[in-house]
Amino acid sequence: MRVFLLLSALWCCVTGLADFIRIGNTGEPATLDPHRYNLRLEETILNDLYLGLTTMSPAGHIVPGAAISWDVSRDGLTWTFELRPNARWSDGEPVTAEDFVFSYQRLLNPQTASSLAFFMYPIKNAEAINSGNAPLNSLGVTALTMHRLAIELEKPFPFFAERLLYPTAYPVPPHAIAAHGDAWVKPGNMVTNGAFILADWRPQGFVELAKNQHFYDAFNVALPGVRYIPVQNATTALNRYRAGELDVILEFPAGELRWLRQHMADHVRVSPLLSVMYLVFNVSEPPFNDARVRKALALAIDRRILTEKVLKSGERISYGLVPSMVANYPTATTQLPDRALARNLLRAAGFTQDNPLKLTLRYFTGDENKRIQIAIASMWRSVGVQTSLHHAELNVHFADLRQGNFQVAHAGWFGENNPEHYLELLMSDIGDVNYGRYMSPKYDRLMRQAKRTADLETRITLLKGAEIEGLRDFSVIPLYSVMIRSLVDPQILGWHTNPRNVHGARYLHWK
């Protein structure tokens, strides 16, 4: 027995894996290049590897990152950042303002083909550069001194500090990219400025991060490393967690919540994600160009049943397009189901028992989505509407939506603590993410006015006006905010639920 203990202790010293936290991520990262990333599950890992100008506190607040402080000019157009003088790359090189200039130019360079480059379009000339219509050096990002960075914007954008949280705004190491070319993202080549470095990456096996000794706050990073293990299937994730193979899983099946609450209550972390799930009508196609039909279908849905009986994880009902968690923004008014009115509206629109409304409801593959659509179809049947369901993989689903190839569809929007991020979806000139091709001159006018306004309060009032206008037309039916369902080993401290569901491993430690 003693020999065994000794051996296992020795083994732990050799590998150092004993103190690693093993996190079951929701899938395999497609890339760890912050400028080419595309998925939320990559954000989690990149957030451990890199440090942007701003970063998130354990509770999800915006706090200084690579920048100690920043100033915004009176007109809201110029942001000046003071960088940490002691910030270093993982190979010991200092992190400078020039590195950020290089990084943002790389992000917006059309040759990088970054799919999320538009996150940085608020920067002056960013869109023109990314479309190939302006030279790289015309970008509104300048190194004033070695540790002073100025960013000029196209228009006032009060939420810019939050935009900088995304990996698209992380710095990348110019010297490592110069040395290794495209292979700079491989373990051994990758140089980072965050709390961890990339130690190993086995595709579909795991991504292993080790502590970065050059991190400016390395003293306060307790973990020697983290292992992100891709587990696509939430049931498999739960099985592996219960078998002790994972210390944290970022998603478990909704149906197991009750059992887990009864048997493993101190492991369960359930909290709302900053998001809105909604149904969208293709308003360019009859009969959904008739507001009465859209209103009838909206009134037939009982959101309380969806959240309390079907989903049951404590989801918050959404009556408006902006999630109720978004700060400083008044939530939309409650709208109760009214089946009698729904039937009358349908009758007025020409749909009777002999000539019922028939429609196809599209959604993307997933257990939760499936149960929601089944329930909605059943609610619509009770007002005499015949629904057929059609599901497709995420890629195909959203390609269909963008091409307007649908009647009614389920969609979701994730992301920011910023009402515009959600309300933009209904602007007529936003492009094909306005899936339903909703067009209201009044809505567009209010939104454009808001975007030109630097004063936050006036801006919010204008945005709210636009939201009310959009909801009055029933072009979308907001349903609920998604819940994050994670399991975290009670031995791990420092794990705070936050609405973005990003948990920096630098804040975690074992009991």
Site for other proteins in 365-384 (CB under 8 A): 365, 367, 370-371, 373-375, 377-378, 381
Per-residue binder mask for other proteins (CB under 8 A), 30-59, x = binder: xxxx--x-x---------------------
Report d(CA 193, CA 175) in Å as an integer.
Answer: 13
Side-chain half-sphere exposure of 286, counting CA atoms within 13 A: 3
Q: Is 240 near other proteins (CB under 8 A)?
A: yes
Residue range at the interface with other proteins (CB under 8 A); choices 333-341, 349-357, 430-438, 478-486: 430-438
Q: Is 253 near other proteins (CB under 8 A)?
A: yes
Q: Is 204 near other proteins (CB under 8 A)?
A: yes
Report d(CA 228, CA 47) in Å as an integer.
Answer: 13
Q: Out of 412, 445, 451, 494, point to the residue binding other proteins (CB under 8 A).
A: 412
Per-residue binder mask for other proteins (CB under 8 A), 302-321, x = binder: ---x---xx-----------
Torsion of CA 315, 316, 318, 322, to 10 degrees: -110
Give me the least distance between CB of 128 and other proteins, in Å please.
9
Give me the least distance between CB of 225 and other proteins, in Å please.
16
Which CB sits closer to other proteins, 28 or 82?
A: 28
Give me the least distance between CB of 506 and other proteins, in Å please.
23
Residue range at the interface with other proteins (CB under 8 A); choices 123-131, 173-181, 341-349, 455-463: 123-131
Kind of pairing, strands 21-25 and 248-249? parallel
Largest Cα–Cα distance of the chain, in whole Å? 83
Give me the least distance between CB of 493 and other proteins, in Å please.
26
Residue ranges in 336-365 that form contacts with other proteins under rule CB under 8 A = 365
**Residue type for position 294:** R
Residues near 301 by beta carbon (within 8 Å), at least 6 away in sequence: 337, 376, 379, 380, 477, 479
Residue ranges in 126-165 that form contacts with other proteins under rule CB under 8 A = 127, 130-132
Which CB sits closer to other proteins, 221 or 357?
A: 357
Report d(CA 83, CA 67) in Å as an integer.
Answer: 4
Q: With contacts defined by CB under 8 A, how many residues of the chain interact with other proteins?
A: 77
Q: What are phi and psi of 64, to 5 degrees?
A: -60, 140
Q: Out of 83, 117, 359, 483, point to the residue binding other proteins (CB under 8 A).
A: 117
Give me the least distance between CB of 238 and other proteins, in Å please.
7
- C-beta of residue 82 within 8 angstroms of C-beta of residue 54: no
Report d(CA 409, CA 148) in Å as an integer.
Answer: 47
State the alpha helices, DSSP H only, in 278-416: 291-299, 303-305, 339-348, 367-381, 394-402
* CB crowding 153-179: b at 16 or more within 10 Å, else e: beebbbbbbbbbbbbbbbbbbbebbee
Q: Out of 2, 259, 340, 355, point to the residue binding other proteins (CB under 8 A).
A: 259
Q: Is 114 near other proteins (CB under 8 A)?
A: yes
